[in-house]
Chains A and B, each alone.
Chain A
Amino acid sequence: QVQLQESGPGLVKPSETLSLTCSVSGGSISGNYWSWIRQPAGKGLEWIGRIYINERGKYNASLKSRVTMSVDTSKNQFSLRLKSVTAADTAVYYCARAPYIAGPTNYYMDVWGSGTTVTVSS
């Protein structure tokens, strides 16, 4: 049974870079899209982007200029970097798996991490 676990700093200063890692256990990082989603306190879910091994990431247009995602197959991990953060980036960040076999437009996230809270504050 695949499990995901987010890790990274819980506090980031304004204008700095938010870096999170999602560790995949119980399964291979191959054969799936890997995604990041965030949720500000009391608000809805916001899709950040997805990535597949050896493909360029697809990102939310509103965040595209600041987001980079990557996959490390040797560590069975994938990562999110969000630069130039502001207080508006304060949220719970989730990583999630989407089956690649379903196809690029049949996109759904069937396994989620427990989420990690990131606060942007000086």
Chain B
Amino acid sequence: SYELTQPPSVSVSPGQTASITCSGDKLDDKYACWYQQKPGQSPVLLIFQDDQRPSGIPERFSGSNSENTATLTISGTQAMDEADYYCQAWDITTGGLFGGGTKLTVL
């Protein structure tokens, strides 16, 4: 079955750029999306269709997908961006699937 792999944790200093990766076999043959989840809250869609931002999502969030890796980039990271981040894709055989999640720490 298809799998998506994320690093468990990423740390970044305020104002710097954070990159969170999501790896899967030939992932760029699929569409990747990203969610942000803060404690006690529902996930929020940040990026869809690899690099598209829904309305209301700040421009500092961007996405890309190349070969085996999709990347979520947060430019000018703020304290409020501290959260768990999940990638997600659709596989014809497996169906919907999420990466294991990455905890972003802003320190």
Interface residues on B, range: 20 to 34
B95–A44 contact, CB under 8 A?
no
A47–B96 contact, CB under 8 A?
yes
A46–B98 contact, CB under 8 A?
yes
Q: Which of B48, B54, B96, B99 has the most CB of A within 10 A?
A: B96
B45 within 8 A of A: yes
User: In the complex the two chains form, what is the Cα distance from A110 to B94 in whole Å?
Assistant: 21
Q: Contacts A105-B90, A108-B88 known; A47 to B49 CB distance under 8 Å?
A: no
What is the total of A-B residue contacts with beta carbons within 8 Å? Answer: 71
Q: How far is the CB of B89 from chain A (nearest CB, A)?
A: 8
Q: Which residues of A contact B99 (CB under 8 A)?
A: 44
Question: Which residues of chain B from 54 to 106 have any CB-CB distance to chain A below 8 Å in the complex?
Answer: 54, 86, 88-90, 92, 94-101
Q: List 26 A-B contacts (CB under 8 A).
A: A37-B98, A44-B98, A45-B37, A45-B43, A45-B86, A47-B88, A47-B95, A58-B95, A58-B96, A59-B95, A60-B96, A61-B95, A102-B49, A104-B90, A105-B30, A105-B31, A105-B90, A106-B31, A107-B89, A108-B31, A108-B33, A108-B45, A109-B45, A110-B48, A112-B44, A113-B42
